[in-house]
Amino acid sequence: MSAVVFYSATIWLAVLLGVVVIFLGRAGTTAQRILAIDLLTLILIGLLALAAQRDQRPYTLDTALALALLSFVATLAACRYYENRRPFS
Protein backbone atom coordinates (compact mmCIF):
# COMPACT_ATOMS: atom_id res chain seq x y z
CA MET A 1 0.00 0.00 0.00
CA SER A 2 1.31 3.39 -0.91
CA ALA A 3 2.50 5.73 1.80
CA VAL A 4 -0.01 8.40 0.75
CA VAL A 5 -2.99 6.11 1.37
CA PHE A 6 -1.53 4.92 4.68
CA TYR A 7 -0.83 8.36 6.12
CA SER A 8 -4.09 9.92 4.99
CA ALA A 9 -6.02 6.91 6.32
CA THR A 10 -4.28 7.14 9.68
CA ILE A 11 -4.95 10.86 9.97
CA TRP A 12 -8.59 10.38 8.97
CA LEU A 13 -9.11 7.66 11.58
CA ALA A 14 -7.51 9.91 14.19
CA VAL A 15 -10.00 12.65 13.24
CA LEU A 16 -12.86 10.16 13.65
CA LEU A 17 -11.49 9.21 17.07
CA GLY A 18 -11.53 12.88 18.03
CA VAL A 19 -15.12 13.29 16.85
CA VAL A 20 -16.26 10.30 18.89
CA VAL A 21 -14.43 11.60 21.99
CA ILE A 22 -16.23 14.95 21.62
CA PHE A 23 -19.55 13.09 21.22
CA LEU A 24 -18.71 11.09 24.35
CA GLY A 25 -18.42 14.32 26.29
CA ARG A 26 -21.68 15.77 24.97
CA ALA A 27 -23.84 12.62 25.00
CA GLY A 28 -27.15 12.94 26.79
CA THR A 29 -27.64 9.53 28.34
CA THR A 30 -25.53 6.78 29.86
CA ALA A 31 -26.42 4.27 27.13
CA GLN A 32 -25.11 6.73 24.54
CA ARG A 33 -21.81 6.97 26.43
CA ILE A 34 -21.44 3.18 26.55
CA LEU A 35 -22.16 3.08 22.83
CA ALA A 36 -19.54 5.76 22.14
CA ILE A 37 -16.87 3.86 24.09
CA ASP A 38 -17.72 0.72 22.10
CA LEU A 39 -17.34 2.65 18.86
CA LEU A 40 -14.04 4.13 20.10
CA THR A 41 -12.51 0.66 20.56
CA LEU A 42 -13.80 -0.41 17.14
CA ILE A 43 -12.00 2.52 15.51
CA LEU A 44 -8.86 1.68 17.51
CA ILE A 45 -9.03 -1.90 16.14
CA GLY A 46 -9.26 -0.35 12.66
CA LEU A 47 -6.13 1.72 13.34
CA LEU A 48 -4.28 -1.38 14.55
CA ALA A 49 -5.33 -3.23 11.37
CA LEU A 50 -3.86 -0.37 9.31
CA ALA A 51 -0.61 -0.55 11.28
CA ALA A 52 -0.42 -4.32 10.81
CA GLN A 53 -0.98 -3.89 7.07
CA ARG A 54 1.92 -1.45 6.82
CA ASP A 55 4.48 -3.09 9.10
CA GLN A 56 3.59 -6.70 8.20
CA ARG A 57 3.96 -7.58 11.86
CA PRO A 58 1.29 -9.94 13.19
CA TYR A 59 1.84 -8.88 16.81
CA THR A 60 -0.10 -5.69 16.21
CA LEU A 61 -3.21 -7.79 15.55
CA ASP A 62 -2.69 -9.61 18.86
CA THR A 63 -3.30 -6.27 20.50
CA ALA A 64 -6.44 -5.80 18.39
CA LEU A 65 -7.70 -9.25 19.40
CA ALA A 66 -7.20 -8.53 23.11
CA LEU A 67 -8.85 -5.12 22.69
CA ALA A 68 -11.90 -6.66 20.98
CA LEU A 69 -12.34 -9.23 23.76
CA LEU A 70 -11.84 -6.65 26.51
CA SER A 71 -14.22 -4.09 25.02
CA PHE A 72 -16.97 -6.74 24.72
CA VAL A 73 -16.66 -7.70 28.39
CA ALA A 74 -16.46 -4.03 29.38
CA THR A 75 -19.66 -3.21 27.47
CA LEU A 76 -21.49 -6.13 29.09
CA ALA A 77 -20.36 -5.12 32.58
CA ALA A 78 -21.19 -1.44 32.07
CA CYS A 79 -24.67 -2.24 30.74
CA ARG A 80 -25.40 -4.64 33.58
CA TYR A 81 -24.34 -2.02 36.06
CA TYR A 82 -26.52 0.60 34.38
CA GLU A 83 -29.49 -1.77 34.27
CA ASN A 84 -29.36 -3.34 37.74
CA ARG A 85 -27.19 -0.89 39.69
CA ARG A 86 -24.77 -3.75 40.29
CA PRO A 87 -22.43 -5.54 37.88
CA PHE A 88 -23.34 -9.13 38.81
CA SER A 89 -26.82 -10.23 39.65
Partner 1 sequence: MTAIVAGLLTILGLVILTIGVYGVVRLPDVYTQLHAASKAGFLGVAALLAAAALQGGGAIVARAVLIVALLTVTTPVAAHVVARAAHRRGESLRTPGAVDES
At closest approach, how far in Å is the CB of 24 from partner 1? Answer: 10
Could you give the C-alpha distances from 31 to 13, 38, 75, 76, 83, in angstroms and in order?
24, 11, 10, 12, 10
Residues in the chain: 89
At closest approach, how far in Å is the CB of 25 from partner 1? Answer: 12
8 A C-beta contact, residue 49 and residue 13: no
Which residue number, 56 or 88, has a Cβ lying nearer to partner 1?
56
Nearest Cα neighbor of 43 from 60, 20, 22 is 20
Cα–Cα dist 17/11, whole Å: 10
At closest approach, how far in Å is the CB of 86 from partner 1? Answer: 13
At closest approach, how far in Å is the CB of 82 from partner 1? Answer: 5
- Residues found near partner 1 in the complex (CB under 8 A): 1-2, 5, 9, 12-13, 16, 19-20, 23, 29-32, 34-36, 38-39, 42-43, 45-46, 49-50, 52-53, 56, 58, 61-62, 64-65, 68-69, 72, 75-76, 79-80, 82-83
